Chains A and B, each alone.
Chain A
């Protein structure tokens, strides 16, 4: 009896999985906007290439 119940649960689970495979939700898209990527790269390059912020030298004693 318990085996029947286990088999029934398994078949129901399998049926649910089949339904999910048949009508799966659309995955989140991965958009890569070339202009945005280029803008981000230019900004990052400018930040890296910029000279360091001038700071007062420590007093030489």
Chain B
């Protein structure tokens, strides 16, 4: 189901297929839809951030996201990735869904000490898990913090490609597409194209690559 939803989002970001509606990709009546929205995070709403002629989100979309936020809040012992992902979904809901700020929970405080403290392989792994937050304007504080470690993310990008971990490589490539100061010697565009060739069959990999191209023009 997650792969199907990711494919639907990627299709919408490419400007193909029927006009996007989250409630059509993930029906509220489906018991697993809230879980899929929670896993996709802010990416579930990514087409509403694109310049395509995506219709504005409706009440049914709001219902799907509200169900996900209510069913899977991060617990007291939740990982930093889980809290940041939840925060990203809340921020995207504020930005792209109708209802005003009163309808949505406040974004939870998320720890960011790991951005400075993690060794670069661990940092790269965590950042790739949060690639859905690399939407334009989302989580600017996290993006600013990651900007201080662009070189380490670039190292992680190369490492992930060498490990053939296409999901991590695509997520890092998406962050690098958003961040300034990426070393030109990295060959980000060629790297993203290579990842698409090798791992583009995975729906979530394809989604990261399409997002990097749609929002930042990288990987063409």
Closest partner residue, chain B, to A28 (CB atom)? B163
| Interface 0/1 of A18-54, CB less than 8 Å to B | 1101111011011100000000000000000000000
Contacts of A19 in B (CB 8 A): 78-79, 82
User: Within the complex, which residue of B32, B72, B164 is in contact with A30, where a contact is CB–CB below 8 Å?
Assistant: B164
Cβ–Cβ contact A23 & B162, under 8 A: no
Q: Please state if A15 and B165 are interface contacts (CB–CB under 8 Å).
A: no
Residue of B nearest to A14 (CB): B35
Cβ–Cβ < 8 Å partners of B162 in chain A = 29, 31
Assembled-state Cα–Cα distance A14/B35 (Å): 8
Tell whether, in the assembled complex, residue B71 and residue A11 are in contact, meaning their CB atoms are under 8 Å apart: yes
Residues of B within 8 A of A29 (CB): 162-165
**A22 engages B82 (CB within 8 Å):** yes
- Do A27 and B165 touch across chains, with their CB atoms under 8 A apart? yes
Q: How far is the CA of A14 from the CA of B31 in the complex (A)?
A: 11
B85 at the interface (CB under 8 A from A): yes
CB A17 to nearest CB in B, in angstroms, measures 7
| Set of chain A residues within 8 Å of B78, measured between Cβ atoms | 19
List which B127-184 residues lie within 8 A (CB) of chain A.
129, 162-165, 168
Contact-residue size bin, chain B (C-beta under 8 Å from the other chain):
20 to 34
Q: Nearest chain-B residue to A24 (Cβ)?
A: B129
CB neighbours (8 Å) of B71 from chain A are 11, 15
Cβ-defined contact, A22 with B85, below 8 A: yes
A26 to B120, CA, bound (A): 14
Quick check: is B67 within 8 A (CB to CB) of the other chain? Answer: no
State which of A18, A26, A30, A31 has its C-beta within 8 Å of the C-beta of B35.
A18
**Which chain A residues lie closer than 8 Å to B35 at the CB level?**
14, 17-18
Q: How far is the CA of A24 from the CA of B167 in the complex (A)?
A: 12
Q: Could you say which of B79, B125, B165, B168 contacts A22, with CB atoms under 8 Å apart? A: B79
Q: Residues of B contacting A30 with CB < 8 Å?
A: 163-164
B57 within 8 A of A: no
Q: Apart from A11-B71, A22-B82, A23-B81, what are 20 other A-B pairs with CB-CB below 8 Å?
A: A14-B32, A14-B35, A15-B71, A15-B72, A18-B35, A18-B39, A18-B72, A19-B78, A19-B79, A21-B39, A22-B41, A22-B85, A23-B79, A23-B129, A26-B125, A27-B165, A29-B162, A29-B163, A30-B163, A31-B163
Residues on A facing B (Cβ under 8 Å): 11, 14-15, 17-19, 21-24, 26-27, 29-31
Report 7 cross-chain contacts, Cβ distance below 8 Å, ordered by A residue. Answer: A11-B71, A14-B32, A14-B35, A23-B82, A23-B129, A26-B125, A30-B164
